[in-house]
Structure 1
């Protein structure tokens, strides 16, 4: 699969606080599904990445990840 989001398997989402996403299709014949590959680079440099059916679901997963990340930071 050709993608603009990775180079040699490494995410091109390098700038802190940014997101990149790309739709792609998987499956054979009539059983094709459209999915979204999503990358988010946090302001601390950590990368969040997921694949979900919609961009909204990806952003919801990112928000849950950010909430959990904040919880861990508060305990320090």
Structure 2
């Protein structure tokens, strides 16, 4: 997500606190928030997929290889 969209999310937030939002602005805010949350989830998934864990027997397990094939239900 680019800085322009994040700035717009913040702008809509401040407008909602100051004077309220129109229905179109509320819909835009909801869509931008959904997009932001999806970007955060994808970023977190990418970070978690690169984590290696040393098992008790000394072997190394990559979490991405072990759990990374699961897909998010909301990623449609």
TM range (shorter): 0.3 to 0.5
State the TM-score, normalized to the length of structure 2.
0.35
In terms of fraction of residues, the more helix-rich structure is 2
In terms of fraction of residues, the more strand-rich structure is 1
Q: Which has the larger radius of gyration?
A: 2
